[in-house]
Structure 1
Amino acid sequence: MLRSLKSLRWVSVFLLAACGSSDLPAGEAPPAVDTVEQGVLFPPPTPSSGNVLDSTTFLGSVALPGAVQTSFTTPLQYYSFAINVAAGSSAKLEVTHLGSSMSLDTGLFVYGPRDASGSYGTTVRAQDDDAGYGQLSKVASVTFAQGGEYLVVVSSGEGAGKRFRLQLDCLSGNCEPVDPSVYATCDDARVGPRVEDCMAHWDAEGLPVNEAFALCFGADDAHALYEGACAPSASSKPVWCAGGEATWTQRMWPVCVSDYTVAYGLYSVSLGSRPVSTGLQSKLSAANAACGTSSACYGELRGYSFPWSHSTPASLDKVAEAVSLTEQSNALFGARLANTTYAQFAQSRLLSRLSSLHPALGQEYSNGSEAVQVTGWHYSREMWPDACMIWELYVIYFPESRGVLVFEQDYARDC
């Protein structure tokens, strides 16, 4: 493993032979270098607690599959990482050449599973010295007969200042102890109370929402949430605890952050043009023709859509804000109308002379089941003696399809 250490051992033996055993005081242990050489793999010392974790520097959880990179800071060091696996799964663990310092010599060990008291024990389940590149370690295959949380330890006898990268790969198709679909939805029952209390606290302190959000949705908050829900003493643990903290942090927590970003309105909508069907355009042309060439009535249509990566739909207010920044209409000089359903809009706001556009307006971008929402602006100005011109701009929003139909109706009436 380390030729320098091995050579030094032989020098130590030679010196001991030359001096004779009588030169060593009674009861004195052999030189420390010989003790290190006896453990070529540099295994963690067995702690009195019976939990090998206490002999290591714990750096948190790593997802399987996944990878982690860090550096040793002292000559003899033991870094440990937790992994969560399903019963019967097999994995490969390797300190890879890519991402690791040149001439680094490592040992690799697996302990566990973690018991109810939180101990990984001291029994080595798998280990390797130099099966990887050069003097790096690789466990080509280890099978976990029992599911749960295991401890992976990477050690080095002279790694101070040297970097290593630990790669974990699943060999059995699926090593995850939790169905991945579990992480696709935020567990609001667990997350909600904590983050909402946090936001309420900072709101009471007068902090703006965006600043409060940054203080309530950090990495430390994710850790605290996981620890609170998944502690060994917890009476009722959610199913995602079995997947480990790394998987929770990488998969569910971002979903939660995304959902609450929307809930607290910390986002904007960027509209892009979307075609309006020829069928609806034809209906509009016919309706405008029926209105005649006067100012009695006139309608216009424009379509938009927007990219969206959140599981919660954008709000109608945010969509309306984006429309107000995109459209140019006299209606925007007027009052904002109350949000309403499409049915209410068709019944009470759609001009009777343009009513032939219903129900096509509410079906244009619909997936057939979504609840279409409507808001808009109304502006009135006297143009002639006792006669006013009315401009109304409506935002017809299809939240699931992310479609936005902007409908403008202009007409004259008595003031």
Structure 2
Amino acid sequence: MIFLLLASSGAILRCVSVLQKENARNVPASEKEELETVVNTTKGMVKGFITNSSLEKAVRVFYGIPYAQPPTGKRRFRRASSKQPWTDVFEATVKPNSCVQTIDDTYGNFSGSVMWNANTNMSEDCLKLNVWTPVPSSKKPLAVLVWIYGGGFYSGTSTLDVYDARNLVSEEDVIVVSMNYRVASLGFLSFGNELVPGNAGLYDQCMALKWVRDNIAAFGGDPNRVTLFGESAGAGSVALHVLSPLSRRLFKRAILQSGSGIAPWSFRSKRKAREAARKLARALGCPTGLDNKTLSCLRKKDPKDIVYNETNNGGVIDLAFGPVADGAFLPKSPRALVYDPAFETNISVMVGSNLNEGSYFLQYFFGFSATDQNPNITENNFTAAVKALNPSLGEPPMAEVLKQYTKGAVPSTPKDMLGGFGLDRR
């Protein structure tokens, strides 16, 4: 298992193998008491545990701290509401539920697929976050990194092994927070009206950031030195927080790994959002007027039935549900916000991309088998694939796209074609 290490004070990139205990239940009873750690938050006491990183350095871990009320019943599809205080000590020693989503079984038990599937029970009661801190805690408040997972806005969970932050906090002397947020239609359904304006998943993230602002000092963190970082849809989310008037004052820095808020896949027009909502309602046997009758019907459905009845709008990366301009979190489209003369921010941003990410699309959408060998790509299927990735573009813009990525000529060798797909050409 690999976790990408990033320090907010500079471009520190490191990959370290992680093989760790799942939770405090693995700690012998005789040692458990001295390995427990309790922190007082604004909502109540939370008890975590102390364990070692793979480099044998002590780390404090808190799993599954609730930051919002469970979005069940009438709260389904609504913006998250603040968690009510609790009186007993909350046991933050077990990984939290993952938010409801589909499971990828395309290649059976292929590890390259399974490693990204939700690895804890799925439930709508999933709005929890995790905190890792070094031990001993620094006398000076530490910088804070907040991780937002990717998954195309339809999948993902903070509990994956690759997101374990023990080595990061122990080696770089930072605090790491990760949160679960609603995905798929449960997190991004939009009727394009005030009834279901959309962006529930982004509001989840925003509420988690407010929790960090209000509580991270109790864990030894500096609320004035918070860096968001994410990959793919996580990076798209980070970019949207930079643009949002509701959240951009909750952090100082942002790291975008292979994602952008103005990428076509990271934003839905009102028309496409309403079209996807109607398709979903129709598939579930609900009224399609996108009114109270539709909402009431959808709230009665099993959450797993909802996510398994989603269909995209056509195109490889034209996903069914995602961020929209809701008038509040996003007053208008990300592109319009970026180019708005009134937009100002003092947030520092680091941007990067991921090698070999295009291999996913080759295997899942273009019929290439899952293999370590370079596929034999022809000029025809290269051009067809680029067009499939951009179905909304007409011929003149498509010609410019091909020119941009091929320097004016369609690549003729397999290595060059792999580069065009976003793969390693070495």
Larger Rg computed on CA atoms: 1
TM-score strictly above 0.5 = no
**TM-score relative to the length of structure 1:** 0.26
Higher strand share: 1
